[in-house]
Amino acid sequence: MKEKVIIVGAGLGGLATGLRLAKEGYEVEFLEKNDKAGGRLNQIKKDGFTFDTGPSFFSMSYIFKEFAEKCGLRLPFEFIELDPLYSVNFSGEDKTYFLYKDIHKLAKQFQDVEPDFEQKMEKYLQKSAQLFNDTVDIVIKRNFDSYLDYFLALIKVNPVHLPILFKTFWEHVNDYFTSKEAREIISLVAFFLGRTPFDTMGIYSLLSHVEFRHDGYYNVKGGMYKIVEGMLEELSKLDVKFHYETEIVDYHAENQQIVSLKDAQGNFWKANKFVINADAALFRSEVMKYKKFSEEKLDKMEWTMGYLTFYLGLKCKLPQVNHHNYFLGSNYEQYASNILQNPSTLEKPYYYVNVVSKYNPECAPEGCESLFFVCPVPNLKYKADWSDRDKIVNSIIDDFSQRIKKDISTEIISKTIFTPQEWQDKFSLYRGSGLGLSHKFTQIGAFRPKNHDEKHDNLFYVGASTIPGAGLPMAVISAELVVERILANSR
Ligand SMILES: Cc1cc2nc3c(=O)[nH]c(=O)nc-3n(C[C@H](O)[C@H](O)[C@H](O)COP(=O)(O)OP(=O)(O)OC[C@H]3O[C@@H](n4cnc5c(N)ncnc54)[C@H](O)[C@@H]3O)c2cc1C
């Protein structure tokens, strides 16, 4: 008889796990608290517009291809490589930097501020490549059974990298570049891990290799939600069942085995194995009630920043705006260094704008544009009251209008705002922290909440707050790692 697996949460990590397990012959059933799949990789359809809610591009496209091969499938969605990767504009300046993967072309834009940029960037990227090549397979793509196992893996990492363990991303970048422009632009990628260059370890400068050299960034044709739709189609061919608006709140266990999970309506769900795609730390706290994950302990852990995201439908086109854009202010260093704790300022010297309708015309009515804004903000621990959200959003709209020399405030015909409060309530993210647990040394590898439960042998975890970490390719690797555990556990 087929073993039955219940997966709690239909985010990317859950969907990828479900697809792999169904292909391996398991009977798979999903329980999802929302009314549709995707988790943070979601979609808003409103007033004739379509918006991606969270992720707008991703790296390491080969992880998706390897995943599809393992499932014996052709990828059920189409990638589009980005070059330039994105653009960056500083406030008060007309100049826009385009982040080309061709370093010679990129360097020409820095001639005025850092004339030897090209040589410096080559040297910096060589170091990033070494860091990537010497760590990724050893540390990211594997399960660890004990701390000893983890330390044995770490000591295999080339000792030449030791000094960087004691530097922040910002300090490391400053070792290579002198101009404010180069330092700020090159260190931007640290924000993609949900913290700032000032509190992210220098070792993550390996991400610069990922963006410029290794594989770059990709979009999905038709919008990022096509990833979810493609996976759902494959899952339906395998008779996988989905139960939406079903939130798990409790469990019943016997002899260190979970027998059933209980939903908020009082229904019990039985299976042989259970995989949790909800946040691995929060679920252990709220549902499993483990002391090691008490409210107090969660509060002491380091969580990523919150995101203020908003989605605008405009009744005009914006030909002057690129597809992926970063807008930086003039006090980046001062602001970014205390962004997590500083709820008071309205000034937002860092925000990202994505024009999804630029290359996906089906995402907006004719003559209109779909815009998605992301602004890093303190999570609910540091700013619990978001009653000023409209004021903040309007200040960003004003700033954006000035920079693109067009007042968009009179063109808005659709507007949706998610503060960290909405991110928390909709997707059960701890204090609205956008990417889950941060990636500091004591919260990665064997120190991150494990993907196999410490007390119940048939309970597993997948997704951003277990190994290896945040981001779409990591969610797919996380699925591979938990599937490896489940297959071993079934033998
Ligand atoms: C604003 C924003 C922008 C981002 N941009 C990018 C980007 O450009 N590129 C990139 O690679 N990554 C990006 N990310 C990160 C990326 O979205 C996540 O790392 C990834 O989607 C996480 O997937 P997951 O499988 O861990 O879980 P999630 O997507 O969080 O899914 C978990 C699911 O579990 C459900 N759930 C939770 N609790 C329960 C319960 N008790 N019962 C039932 N269901 C439950 C939730 O509703 C959810 O559907 C971004 C994230 C945010 C917030």
CATH number for position 156: 1.10.405
Pairing of strands 459-461, 273-276: parallel
Element counts in the chain: helices (H) and strands (E): 15, 19
Ligand 1 atom nearest to 13, measured from its CA? 25
The pLDDT score that the predictor gives to residue 77 is 87
Residue 263 included in any domain: yes
pLDDT band at 284 (very low <50, low <70, confident <90, very high): very high
Ligand 1 atom nearest to 40, measured from its CA? 29
Protein residue whose Cα sits closest to atom 22 of ligand 1: 464
**384-427 pLDDT tens trace:** 999 999 999 999 999 999 999 999 999 999 999 999 999 999 99
Q: Which residues pair with 276 in a beta bridge?
A: 8, 461
**Residue 25 to residues 21, 457, 458: CA-CA distances in angstroms?**
6, 20, 17
The pLDDT score that the predictor gives to residue 401 is 96
The pLDDT score that the predictor gives to residue 211 is 94
Residue 166 included in any domain: yes
Q: What is the mean pLDDT of the chain?
A: 93
| pLDDT for 59 beyond 80 | yes
Residues 133 and 181 grouped into a single domain: yes
| pLDDT for 340 beyond 80 | no
Residue 114 included in any domain: yes
Residues 208 and 226 grouped into a single domain: no
Residue 420 included in any domain: no
Q: What global pTM score does this model have?
A: 0.95
Q: In the predicted model, what is the mean pLDDT of residues 316-336? A: 87
Gap from CA of 227 to ligand 1 centroid (Å): 13
Ligand 1 atom nearest to 53, measured from its CA? 1
Gap from CA of 107 to ligand 1 centroid (Å): 36
Contact 377, 347 (CB under 8 A): no
| pLDDT for 474 beyond 90 | yes
Range with the poorest average pLDDT among 143-147, 296-300, 477-481 = 143-147
Query: Residue 434 has which token pair?
Result: 């956008």
Ligand 1 atom nearest to 423, measured from its CA? 53
The pLDDT score that the predictor gives to residue 338 is 65
Which of 169, 199, 215 finishes a domain? Answer: 215
Residue 314 included in any domain: no
Residue 81 included in any domain: no
Q: How many other C-beta atoms are found inside a 10 Å radius of the C-beta of residue 57?
A: 22
**71-110 pLDDT tens trace:** 999 888 899 999 999 999 998 888 999 999 999 999 999 9
Residues 143 and 202 grouped into a single domain: yes
Going by the DSSP 8-state scheme, the letter that residue 305 receives in this structure is: P
Residues 15 and 163 grouped into a single domain: no
The angle formed by the CA atoms of residues 462, 41 and 280, to the nearest 5 degrees, is 25
Ligand 1: residue of 231, 250, 251, 277 to mutate (most ligand atoms within 8 A of CB) is 277
**361-374 pLDDT tens trace:** 999 999 999 999 99
Residues 483 and 467 grouped into a single domain: yes
The pLDDT score that the predictor gives to residue 339 is 67
Residue 478 included in any domain: yes
The pLDDT score that the predictor gives to residue 348 is 66
- Number of independent structural domains in the chain: 2
| pLDDT for 346 beyond 60 | no
Protein residue whose Cα sits closest to atom 7 of ligand 1: 55
Which of 215, 234, 252 finishes a domain? Answer: 215
Domain that holds residue 260: 4-39+221-301+438-490
Residues 183 and 232 grouped into a single domain: no
Residues 110 and 211 grouped into a single domain: yes
Residue 13 included in any domain: yes
Q: In the predicted model, what is the mean pLDDT of residues 133-139? A: 85
Nearest to 190 by CA among 11, 347, 326: 326
Residues 130 and 168 grouped into a single domain: yes
**161-202 pLDDT tens trace:** 888 888 999 999 999 999 999 999 999 999 888 888 998 999
Pocket of ligand 1 (CB under 6 A): 8-14, 31-34, 39-41, 54-58, 247-248, 277-278, 307, 309, 374, 427-428, 434-435, 463-464, 470-472, 475
Which of 215, 235, 270 finishes a domain? Answer: 215
Residues 282 and 200 grouped into a single domain: no
The pLDDT score that the predictor gives to residue 156 is 81
Contact 365, 224 (CB under 8 A): no
Residues 121 and 207 grouped into a single domain: yes
| pLDDT for 354 beyond 60 | yes
Residues 297 and 442 grouped into a single domain: yes
